[in-house]
Copies of this chain bind each other. A is one copy, B any other.
Amino acid sequence: MEHTRADTGPADPARRHHGNRHGRSELARQAVLEAADNLLVERGFAGVTMEAIAARAGVAKQTVYRWWQTKTDVLLDAFLQDSAEDLVPPDHGDLATDLRAYLGQLARFLRESDAGAVFRALVAQAQHDAVFAARFQACYLDDQRRRDHLPLQRAQRRGELPADLDLATATDQLVGPLYYRVLVTNGPVDPDFTDRLVDTFLRTVPRQDGG
Contacts and interface: CB of A to CB of B under 8 A. Distances in A.
Interface residues of A, number: 37
A113 interface: no
A137 interface: yes
A121 B46 CA distance: 16
Interface in A159-177: 168-169, 172-173, 175-177
Nearest to A182: B127
A129 B186 CA distance: 13
A141 interface: yes
A187 B173 CA distance: 13
A183 B173 contact: no
B123 A183 contact: yes
Contacts of A81: none
Interface in A123-170: 123-125, 127-129, 133, 137, 141, 145, 168-169
Q: Top 9 nearest A-B pairs by Cβ distance?
A: A176-B177, A176-B180, A124-B124, A124-B127, A176-B176, A45-B128, A172-B177, A120-B127, A179-B180
